[in-house]
Chains A and B, each alone.
Chain A
């Protein structure tokens, strides 16, 4: 169990009745007892089973496609190819509420002529049984004529490179300019330059993509699917060619998302097939399908040139970022923007130049993944901070201390985050909990090392996307509470948190609430469960809705008690006078009174995030996000210098989460983020050879197991300064950000040399050590 550390006396010591406690989540019992249906558990009479046929070469022309043999197989009901979809395209851009869309980012639904990546879908099969669909897939005959492709973003930018997207493969460019970086670097006493690389990472959620679609009596295409974004109903309708109100997404509890279910996955295939066959259709990806079926984390190459004064101040910073966007654009421009905005990390850099490009290749397309570009930058800037301290001969904590952003300081874009910046407190505590620098290094082949990393990670979507979220809260006549909101729950407790917020405000308990969520037609749209925004956005909407209802209930109670409303409180399922709790009534009686008086016992609220214009295109100045989260992770490792094996011995997390809503859920996020970050640092890498996936299963793609992870030691700081409900910030993405660089720094501390490319495999460690010996 984590410790909550109260470090700031200026924050009033608020006592909540529900919020902040490690309560059993509303979704826990159903999951534990196996009662919760996931999208894959739904069946319908007469349903067909689908299968997607995919290209097995990354860059090619489809010269021949013959589905007749497959169609002739008994039990095959329908096969759809591009020929059936002459003018259908699918959006790859930000879905959503705003209707904004960039030009030229759409994708063919099925391969027409040109194959751009390994696994690109060629045909959709529907059959009476999964087995028949599988056999039919083997009977689809196609010929792919290889076309020279490009598999490295740096190669893709060279003149004459094969073109995958646009005119020159560059799908996005972002610049951030502040002060004069060149002058700052020129004036520096020391300049440290390093290039860091990060890999393609796979989300590897437990639940592969799955859905069931059917057409109802109103000709609405219903899709039961695991998704982070029910708002895709619009993009799906556009792709299929029906009005928006003829597609209804009914989510289910999701077996993990991590950004991998942020884009459309199986929905369009299901919708097309249901519309064509007029029968219920089900599509479930195997793990193999899943690994080639959704985008990956962008590999980044980041070159940091840091100018330092002798006394340890950063006086200039130049950062060049190149991201591999793969074959289609998807969310690359936004991911890249997060990378650019966060490029200096939680440090004050007055002379800054960031130049970031996302480049198309014939690799797997890349899109959203927990940390969304910000964590790739963190992987680089925190390694660079250690390299700078080392070059200066300074203690790495003290060096950081000289350069921290503090509350009220401007970040890279000139924006001042409205909340507390507690990086220093977080780093100090993490380092203290770990025990600080090691006094003695061990002899023998096995070395021990320690490292720390801080981070800056936003919560809430980019403010120029004009984000909104709706929630509805109502009280039944028997005093029970209902929350309705479209929010999707991807396993982090998003839904349960809303319940906790509503009952805190209404003074009842978590058992009294039922939450309906994730239905694009009947629950108010909450926006996506992405960008560490669900609690911030929908939590606020829920809180405001509950407060509106509370206000009316309290007014009615005050009338009965003959007092002013501001002396009445709700708690313990009662309404009472604060200074005279004897004067009280049961919540249920109050609700009944309201009902008979015709007082409105529900409220629908639309919460708006701060809106901004797009950042200045030349300088990147302006507001990018509503606010930021700060924290730190500290790590102890052992490194076997003979074999290069790294063991993570201790893992210490400290985050200022603003305010815990459910402490157990916060810890769950931090533990999961730690595992996710450890894999990114040490073992996880999707490898492509000429675009072809050569790690097609969990036998090659290696996430840390329980045997590879130490217990995560967690301390939570609550600045109560966030923009979320009760001063909450967010933890979903921040949890992963600092883990990998902390591990990298610990390894470098142990062996005295740095591996600049993640994952830091045993082989890379051995090679780095050999290189170091070679130099001596």
Chain B
């Protein structure tokens, strides 16, 4: 045996000594052992010390990045996509945008009023809504302004800053069409106004065809009730439509025959186009992808094997393929799409790659099942005009320097 003296104060040595002693008590043959096994950690935290809601390890520091305008009431946070795995965003890291802070709503008092061009106007409690047949669906949400700051020039230092206004969850709720069909929607009703119960009483006009297609009155996210930032106790989910339309803290649905042109439809969420025009009701978040690892802010640890991993999504359908270039766009290879590959959901793509240690650029390009191909910045400028804010879905390039440093550079 090695030195087991306790006087050297070394805890590890002490543990070894303790182990040896207790082993000796159990079996004298242990003393005959030539080598000492790596000691066990011994007992951990007790049940009494556990919380009733599990917490992540203290060593895991992934965090949202907060931003706000002036008052702190208008603002939100971005998801750390660079640390994500698979397709589900942890609820506590889901991006958020608010227009008058996060309200604190008691679900036992929350009500949804549906009125306007229906036979029976009704008020639903949460209890009522929970009694309807429900669905579970994986869907991404993306703020129309995701990548707003990147329009003119690359500015974000990480993929969280460039693309962090998108997240993906499994949502549970009642298909809106089930509820509407029961109320008897008038035949010439074409639009629905959704209103939130936040301080800004946020409103958006939603086309009836979307409501009758795949819209969900969602009350749960990733197996538990919604987080307050995500609209607790009730939000509208319009799969594939710009985040702002997925009205949170949903309190009212008004059925009408024309759009209302609410504040957000008139301004922030209307997109400048070429030819002096502004496009309203853009609705769809079109096909997009980004390599999340390796990505800007990271450093490759010398030449050798790396797994390229990223996310692709399309508000119009299902991701069909993702091509990756590791030679600055000269050649492209198809990445593996990892199951599940679901409509209007984040899709994880991966590709093995051996870096030769030379300076290069890597990028991804998605194609969805409508045939839509993610544009380059040049192509997007042609369509949307050189100044824009919303619906940036251009191909993202990451520059890799010879020392492995990765930065956000436009080619």
Bound together: no
